[in-house]
Amino acid sequence: MLVSRQGRGQIRRVQETLAAGVFPGRELAHGAMILVAGALLITPGFLTDAIGFALLVPGIREAIRRYGVRRMQNRVQVL
């Protein structure tokens, strides 16, 4: 239920960002992490549950996104 609620909220934020004429990169990244969190939560195991619940925390998702952006910044070229 928590994953569903956060997912619907994230879809709404993506739509709002698109309506404002801005590419929703941050919102899409958070949405993907929520999707992964849901998959991890239905997978049996303590470690997968811990990681799944951690991905539901917005601060942790943002920290992971920033880390990924810094890591990929020099490797990806946008034309």
What's the average model confidence in pLDDT over 8-28? 93
* Residue 12 within any structural domain of the chain: yes
For the chain, the domain total comes to 1
* Residue 46 within any structural domain of the chain: yes
38: which residues sit within 8 A by CB, 6+ positions away? 3, 7, 52
* Residue 77 within any structural domain of the chain: no
* Residue 43 within any structural domain of the chain: yes
Give the pLDDT confidence score for residue 78 in this predicted structure: 67
51-61 tens-digit pLDDT: 999 999 999 99
**Token duo for residue 51:** 């990681």
Residue bearing the bigger pLDDT, 75 or 18: 18
20-43 tens-digit pLDDT: 999 999 999 999 999 999 999 999
* Residue 79 within any structural domain of the chain: no
What residue numbers bound the domain in which 24 lies? 2-72
* Residue 78 within any structural domain of the chain: no
pTM above 0.75, yes or no: yes
